[in-house]
Chain A
Amino acid sequence: MENIVSHHTDHHEEHEAHESIKIDGFWLFLVSDVLLFGALFATFIVLRTHYAEGPTSQDLFDVKEFTIETFVLLTSSFTSGLATLEMNKGHVKSLITWLIVTALLGATFVGFEIHEFSGMVSEGYKMSTSAFLSGFFTLVGTHGCHVSLGLIWMIGLIIQVARRGFTPVTERKLSIISLYWHFLDAVWIFIFTVVYLIGVM
Chain B
Amino acid sequence: MKHIESRQASHGSTTSYIIGFVLSILLTILPLWLVVNHVLNRTALIVTIMIMAALQFLIQLLFFMHIRESEKPRYNVLAIILGIVFVITIVGGSAWIMTFNSQVQ
Contact = CB atoms under 8 A, between A and B. Distances in A.
Contacts of B79: 27-28, 31
Contacts of A38: 86-87, 90-91
Nearest to B21: A78
B95 to A, nearest CB: 6
Contacts of A67: 32
B53 A85 contact: no
A78 B87 contact: no
A71 B17 contact: no
A90 B35 CA distance: 44
A162 interface: no
A95 B31 CA distance: 33
A189 B11 contact: no
Contacts of A183: 60, 65
Nearest to B11: A88
Contact of A46 (B24, B32, B95): B95
A70 interface: yes
A189 B3 contact: no
Interface of A: 12, 16, 24, 27-28, 30-32, 34-35, 37-39, 41-43, 45-46, 63, 67, 70-71, 74-75, 77-78, 81-82, 84-85, 87-90, 166, 168, 171, 179, 182-183, 185-186, 189-190, 192-194, 197-198, 200-201
Given A24-B76, A45-B91, 12 more contacts: A28-B79, A35-B83, A42-B90, A71-B28, A74-B21, A74-B25, A84-B11, A85-B12, A90-B4, A192-B53, A201-B38, A201-B45
Top 3 A-B residue pairs of the complex, sorted by shortest distance between their CB atoms = A38-B87, A31-B83, A42-B94
